[in-house]
Amino acid sequence: MIENQIRELFAGLAGARRETTRVDAERARRRGRARLRWRRAAVTGTPLLAVATAVTVAVTLGFTPGGLRRDGTATGTGPAAPRQFDPLVPYLSFGWLPAGNSLLRGGVSRTSAFMFAGRTATSPNVWDLGIYAAGRCHLTSGAKKLTCGSAGPTIDITRPAPAVHGHRAWWTNSSNMWWADAGLVWQYARNGWAWLILPNMYRYPPQQVAAVRRDAVRIAAHIRYGAPTRPLVFPAQLVHVPGNWRVSSVLYTPDGRVLQASSFALAGGRPSLGSDGGLDYQKGLPTIGIGPDSPKSTCPRRGESNREVINGVRVVVSHSAAGGLPRQDLCAAHADGLTLFVSEQGAHPAIGVASLFRNHLRLLGGNPANWARNPFG
Amino acid sequence: MSGSRDDEYTEYVAARLPSLQRLATVLCDDWQRADDLVQATLTKLYTQWSRVRDATHPDAYARTVLVREFIHERRSPWAKWVSLTGEMTDPPVITVDHDIALDLRAAVAALPARQRATLVLRFYCDLNVVQSAEILGCSPGTVKSQTAKALETVRKVLAPAPNPGARPHPPRSATR
């Protein structure tokens, strides 16, 4: 019965052990109290701005830098892992994959780099590789767990695995996974850790599981770090933007001989909103999703949204609130051969999404041959 | 806000937080989003504390706030934006992938928020149709139809599963 399978799924999700939480009841109470003050002020006519300043919300998503622990282990030998990655350099590439598998997508931020490989772009049955900058992950005493940042993964180590290029390695079970030996962790460089999650192991009959594990070790052994990769190219460039803007994180997909930046987030001296899905977000700065358009590309209307024509392109501009902060979104389904999304979160964006599209975004068309390696023009 | 009221709120949250987190995790299938959902829920509970306190079943009230917040959040432009960019980066796949069909978790995660919430209320919270309808703010008939649609969708996805007894394997979405 499918119902029983769903019950089992939900029970598993609910029962997964959590090492950390970002829920803060005291913050909720403060924010709730501020909201009540706001409501009362609205009723009595008190100037709202004075009240609004009392409301502060720190939304942190994903990997926020945690307190670095020195456990005295896992420092290893050989070259050190990068202290930071350059988001404009993919850094990783697969040297070997099982037949039928290829790179599906990847991403780089300052703290981690990752790649997915599989047979089809939308398959959940993927090889999922992530590596972390120096000092991000720490092995607990007794090599029972690998923790990567205060809000990052906590990986349960199950047993030793064959060494990867002479570096010690272990089979793992992440804390939200049910299948034993679902991943492999190893030191890819001194003070740097890599984690390869195997395709869904439960799908394999026992006689194939060992072969999948052998594939995992072989994949790990052939991963190239810091070697030249296909160039990362951007379908649009930012122009006339503040000099301190930089790309904080990029998601890419392979497209022929290039890696196409499909989403990228910007940073530049503003509070971090944390990371999610591989992108690092900053308050008031844009995150851009972009790629070749198709006849099916559309921009749905949602919330308080307006259709506008900017620079001859039909766009939808939306205003909303999410996570306690105002949000602006701009969507252009057909913009010079591209589909584009721009999103900003925060009350005072450096440049609003409409202005960004109008004055600061140079679209390079749908032909990858014309795309740029530098996202700033 | 009186101190005693704050104390009551704090005491309630301390006692019920794990339960709310579990429900949020099942709804979101993502710890980070679940934390955001619980955080938003706790804020709302504070602003509506007099109603929570006076409710016949405070837990049911809190659960209602959380589930509705989940549905509301999934409708927001940001959630759609993330979804849209995800679609954009994945080229269309024409061939049928039996691996996809096998993935129960992916199938349930792909359901519309209201259908997923309905399944969670029915099969995780073990609520009946009427109780689920009260939380979702709809009629019992809608709960029945949403449940049927969701199950049908999941069944279709899982139909060709050749490996009975297999256990679903979650993606690593929550870890980056």
CATH code, A307: 2.60.120
H helix and E strand count, chain A? 5, 23
**Distance in angstroms (rounded) separating the CA atoms of residues A208 and B116:** 33
My answer on whether A111 and A203 are in the same domain is: yes
My answer on whether B6 and B21 are in the same domain is: yes
* Closest to A236 (Cα-Cα) out of A247, A248, A224, A221: A247
Q: How far is A268 from chain B (nearest CA, A)?
A: 21
| Tokens describing residue A189 | 């460089």
DSSP state of B122: I
- Residue A264: count of CB within 10 angstroms of its CB: 27
Condensed to tens digits (0 to 9), the pLDDT of residues A273-324 reads 777 667 888 889 999 999 998 887 888 665 678 899 999 999 999 888 766 7
Residue-number span of the structural domain to which A352 is assigned: 232-370
My answer on whether B61 and B110 are in the same domain is: no
Domain boundary among B91, B121, B141: B91
What's the confidence (pLDDT) of residue A172? 86
| Tokens describing residue A86 | 């350059």
My answer on whether B8 and B51 are in the same domain is: yes
My answer on whether A171 and A101 are in the same domain is: yes
My answer on whether A138 and A158 are in the same domain is: yes
My answer on whether A198 and A100 are in the same domain is: yes
* Closest to A68 (Cα-Cα) out of A14, A132, A143, A123: A132
Distances (CA, A) of B111 to A192, A251, B103, B120: 38, 25, 13, 12
Residues 90-149 of B with CB under 8 A from A: 90-91, 93, 95, 97, 99-100, 102-106, 108, 119-120, 123-124
What's the confidence (pLDDT) of residue A61? 22
DSSP state of A248: E
| Tokens describing residue B57 | 């079943």
Contact B77 A262 (CB under 8 A): no
My answer on whether B77 and B98 are in the same domain is: no
My answer on whether A238 and A354 are in the same domain is: yes
Q: How many domains, in total, are found in chain B?
A: 2
Q: How far is A240 from chain B (nearest CA, A)?
A: 25
Contact A62 B32 (CB under 8 A): yes
My answer on whether B102 and B149 are in the same domain is: yes
What's the confidence (pLDDT) of residue A24? 82
Angle between helices B3-28 and A2-15 (to 10 degrees): 130
Give yes or no for a contact between B159 and B101, defined as CB atoms under 8 angstroms apart.
yes
My answer on whether B74 and B142 are in the same domain is: no
What's the confidence (pLDDT) of residue B110? 83
Give yes or no for a contact between A337 and A365, defined as CB atoms under 8 angstroms apart.
yes
Q: Are strands A361-363 and A145-148 parallel, antiparallel or unpaired?
A: unpaired
My answer on whether A348 and A220 are in the same domain is: no
Show the CA angle centred on residue A198, arms to residues A193 and A203, nearest 5°. 160
| Tokens describing residue A218 | 């072989």
My answer on whether B67 and B127 are in the same domain is: no
- Compute φ and ψ for B5, nearest 5 degrees: -65, -40
Q: Is the pLDDT of residue B76 over 50?
A: no
My answer on whether B130 and B60 are in the same domain is: no
Give yes or no for a contact between A133 and A194, defined as CB atoms under 8 angstroms apart.
no
Q: How many domains, in total, are found in chain A?
A: 3
What's the confidence (pLDDT) of residue B24? 92
Residue-number span of the structural domain to which B83 is assigned: 1-91
Distances (CA, A) of B133 to B75, B121, B130: 19, 9, 5
Judged by DSSP in three states, A73 sits in: coil
My answer on whether B109 and B84 are in the same domain is: no
Q: CA torsion angle for A345, A351, A355, A358 (degrees, to 10)?
A: -110
Partner residue facing A291 (CB), from B75, B88, B167: B88
N- to C-terminal Cα separation, chain B: 39
Q: In sequence order, which residues have a C-beta less than 8 Å from that of residue A192 and are 6 or more positions away?
A: A80, A81, A82, A131, A132, A133, A134, A136, A137
My answer on whether B7 and B41 are in the same domain is: yes
A289 close contact with B: CB closer than 8 A? yes
Asked if residue B175 is part of any domain, the answer here is: no
| Tokens describing residue B124 | 């995780």
Q: Percentage of chain B with pLDDT > 90?
A: 18
| Tokens describing residue B8 | 């009551």
Interface test mutation site (partner B, options A3, A6, A92, A320, max chain B beta carbons within 10 A) = A6
Condensed to tens digits (0 to 9), the pLDDT of residues B78-135 reads 443 333 333 332 222 223 333 443 568 888 888 888 999 999 999 988 888 888 988 8
Mean pLDDT, chain B, whole residue set: 73
Angle between helices B3-28 and B31-47 (to 10 degrees): 150
A-chain residue closest to B94, CA distance: A120
- DSSP labels for B53-95? HHSS-HHHHHHHHHHHHHHHHHHSHHHHHHHHHHHHHS----S
Asked if residue B73 is part of any domain, the answer here is: yes
DSSP state of A47: -
CATH code, B123: 1.10.10.10
- Please indicate whether residue B23 or residue A38 has the higher confidence score (pLDDT): B23
Burial class (CB in 10 A: 0-12, 13-18, 19+), A26: exposed
- Compute φ and ψ for A102, nearest 5 degrees: -150, 170
Contact B154 A2 (CB under 8 A): yes
H or E stretch covering B99: helix B98-102
Which pTM was predicted? 0.59
Contact B77 A302 (CB under 8 A): yes
Distances (CA, A) of A200 to A156, A204, B33: 17, 8, 23
My answer on whether B84 and B5 are in the same domain is: yes
Regions of chain A where pLDDT drops below 50: 42-75, 175-178
| Tokens describing residue B128 | 């009946």
Contact B77 A123 (CB under 8 A): no
H or E stretch covering A314: strand A313-322
What's the confidence (pLDDT) of residue A338? 95
Q: Is the pLDDT of residue B160 over 60?
A: no
Q: Is the pLDDT of residue B167 over 90?
A: no
Domain boundary among B60, B91, B122: B91
My answer on whether A364 and A293 are in the same domain is: yes
Asked if residue A71 is part of any domain, the answer here is: no
Q: Name the residue type at position A359.
A: N
* Closest to A252 (Cα-Cα) out of A236, A267, A263, A265: A263
Residues forming beta bridges with residue A253, ordered by sequence position: A260
B-chain residue closest to A249, CA distance: B176
Residues forming beta bridges with residue A109, ordered by sequence position: A249
Asked if residue A330 is part of any domain, the answer here is: yes
My answer on whether B40 and B63 are in the same domain is: yes
* Closest to B171 (Cα-Cα) out of A88, A324, A126, A312: A126
Domain boundary among B91, B110, B134: B91
Look at chain B and count its residues.
176
Contact A202 B169 (CB under 8 A): yes
| Tokens describing residue A355 | 């202005």
My answer on whether A98 and A212 are in the same domain is: yes
Give yes or no for a contact between A195 and A183, defined as CB atoms under 8 angstroms apart.
yes
**Distance in angstroms (rounded) separating the CA atoms of residues B88 and B83:** 9
B-chain residue closest to A21, CA distance: B35
- Compute φ and ψ for A184, nearest 5 degrees: -135, 130
Interface test mutation site (partner B, options A116, A176, A232, A297, max chain B beta carbons within 10 A) = A176
H or E stretch covering A210: helix A206-222
Show the CA angle centred on residue B39, arms to residues A8 and A17, nearest 5°. 35
Asked if residue B61 is part of any domain, the answer here is: yes
